[in-house]
Amino acid sequence: MTAVETGLQDLKRQHPEWEPWLAVVQQALSETTNPEWNSFVPARAEAQQGKVPLLAGVTLALDKRSVRRLQEQLFRIAHRSGTPEMATLESPLNGDLDILKLLEASICQDGQRLQEIAAGLGVDAEAFQAVAALLPLPLLHACNRAWASSKSVSWMEGYCPVCGAWPAFAEMRGIERNRYLRCGRCGGGWQSHCLFCPYCGMTDHNELVSLVPEKGGASSVIEACKRCLGYVKIFTKLQGSSPSQVLLDDLASVDLDLAALEQGYKRPQGTGYSLAVKVGE
């Protein structure tokens, strides 16, 4: 059994009520290892420039059939899950959905466009956006793999150098306790300053607080910013999680998210950098 399979089984045992959603997550993660998606990643000859994520402004040419296949798999599993909200997700399977526009909006994390698509389909907006958010994962993981050598070694921004997403959490690794932010979308990781808010750049330690939940233990804490009210979960580890495990680690630490929300802190919506990605055939 792989680490991802073990992680999914652990989550199902700890949160049996999540099983319908975890079935959708499992399908998306299994697809990240499909080599088919590697062929859709544009080649890069130039190194990363400034504070611009590698995906920003890129035009992606994809096989519509591959995207449609994954979209139908994810939405069919969600539709059959039995929850009232996910049960509304039948209409995205009827073939009228512009799948490439959906993928484009999902990559860019364009919440307004996704809400408009959901409204046009007459489905539950929250359930629709949750499933749609998983649709780009295989492509984004492929981008992270293909562009590994193009990442700037000096990247210290708060958002992902590949896809511009805000971090899912941070890892304090090894004896040196170097800090790395991790992306829940492409699975990437990048080094970060300590005592630094990734959302607003705050470095004044008087404006940064640490929250230690009762059940978190010494290896899991929350760092929050009093200026922008953003927070980051911090995990102390010997080594970083694999790209496919990042999403599961994020889900497994939902108790930390709830503790931060109770204190008035939140994660920002959307991406940390406007991607303006275009998707076509």
Alpha carbon distance 56, 71 (integer Å): 23
Average predicted confidence (pLDDT) for the chain: 93
Alpha carbon distance 227, 198 (integer Å): 12
Q: What is the pLDDT of residues 178-210, one digit of tens each?
A: 999 999 999 999 999 888 999 999 999 999 999
pTM above 0.85? yes
Count the helix, strand and coil residues of the chain and give each as a percent rounded to the nearest 5.
Answer: 45, 15, 45
Q: What is the pLDDT of residue 281?
A: 85
Whether the Cβ atoms of residue 83 and residue 33 lie closer than 8 Å to each other:
no
Q: What is the pLDDT of residue 48?
A: 87
Alpha carbon distance 180, 157 (integer Å): 11
